[in-house]
Amino acid sequence: SKAQEPKDEL
Amino acid sequence: MNIFRLAGDLSHLAAIIILLIKIWKTRSCAGISGRSQVLFAIVFITRYLDLFTNFISAYNTAMKVFFLGSSIGTVYLMYLKFKATYDHNHDTFRIEFLLLPTALLSLVLNHEFSVMEILWTFSIYLESVAILPQLFMVSKTGEAESITSHYLFALGSYRGLYILNWIYRYYFEGFYDIIAIVAGCVQTILYCDFFYLYITKVLKGKKLQLPA
């Protein structure tokens, strides 16, 4: 799957 | 943002602050694995490269800056400033056995074959095993100062709370990242025996003693 963007987790 | 992720981030923040207090107050890094701290610095550097390109929120940026600065600062304190108190003899876990497999795995198992995505994936895999040198050192010395065990408890709890955050986000936002989830579960499982000792001993005022 397309990377989940933007990565909002630290 | 949800309460589990906020609690996780604060637990992570607390762990890092406890460690800095321990090193600064006792002016010693006895019992702390410098190798694990080096791995944590690598984890943050490879994960937060988008610090200047991807603005999420002031909170997100502030935490990234703090985690980057404190992890690099801790390595500096351990290997330079308080070098004399660093316990080389017990901090012997071969970190190349962690760096290589996680690097290879991130090239093979990722969401997208791009530089940023592979570095992020590497950082996720590395973080899941970065505590091993520290746990290995505690098992070798057979004990840990109580402040060090509080540090480990806060650090282990942070990713455990993130698991609750991922469950929450799955049900309420339909979002999940299988790579982060699997690595996060591995990371938390590695702390299980420590959690048991911490709850049965340290919370009863005893020193953390591992059966030799």
Using N-to-C axis directions, what is the helix angle for B178-189 and B115-129, rounded to 10°? Answer: 20
Q: What is the pLDDT of residue B153?
A: 98
Range of the domain at B193: 3-203
Mean pLDDT in residue range B158-182: 97
Q: Can you give the three-state secondary structure of B99-168, one letter per residue?
A: HHHHHHHHHHCCCCCCHHHHHHHHHHHHHHHCCHHHHHHHHHHCEECHHHHHHHHHHHHHHHHHHHHHHH
Taking only the tens place, the pLDDT of each residue in B78-135 is 999 999 999 999 999 999 999 999 999 999 999 999 999 999 999 999 999 999 999 9
* Contacts with A1 from chain B: Cβ below 8 Å: 111
Rounded to the nearest integer, the mean pLDDT of chain B is 96
* Contacts with B119 from chain A: Cβ below 8 Å: none
Strand partners, B84: none
Q: Which of A3, A6, A8 has the CB atom closest to B112's CB atom?
A: A3
Question: Does residue B69 belong to any structural domain of this protein?
Answer: yes
ipTM of the complex: 0.90
Q: Is the pLDDT of residue A2 over 60?
A: no
Dmax (CA) of chain A:
21
Taking only the tens place, the pLDDT of each residue in B5-20 is 999 999 999 999 999 9
A8/chain B closest Cα distance in angstroms? 6
Q: Which of A4, A6, A10 has the CB atom closest to B177's CB atom?
A: A4
A9/chain B closest Cα distance in angstroms? 8
Question: Does residue B210 belong to any structural domain of this protein?
Answer: no
Is residue B124 within 8 A of residue B130, CB to CB? The reply is no
Q: Is the pLDDT of residue A4 over 80?
A: no
Is residue B144 within 8 A of residue B165, CB to CB? The reply is no
Q: What is the pLDDT of residue A3?
A: 59
User: What gap in Å lies between CA A3 and CA B61, rounded to an integer?
Assistant: 21
Q: Are B112 and A10 a contacting pair at CB < 8 A?
A: no
User: What gap in Å lies between CA B74 and CA B136, rounded to an integer?
Assistant: 19
Is residue B191 within 8 A of residue B152, CB to CB? The reply is yes
Question: Does residue B208 belong to any structural domain of this protein?
Answer: no
* Contacts with A6 from chain B: Cβ below 8 Å: 50, 54, 56
Question: Does residue B17 belong to any structural domain of this protein?
Answer: yes
Question: Does residue B209 belong to any structural domain of this protein?
Answer: no
Q: What is the pLDDT of residue B208?
A: 87
Count up the domains in chain B and report the number. 1
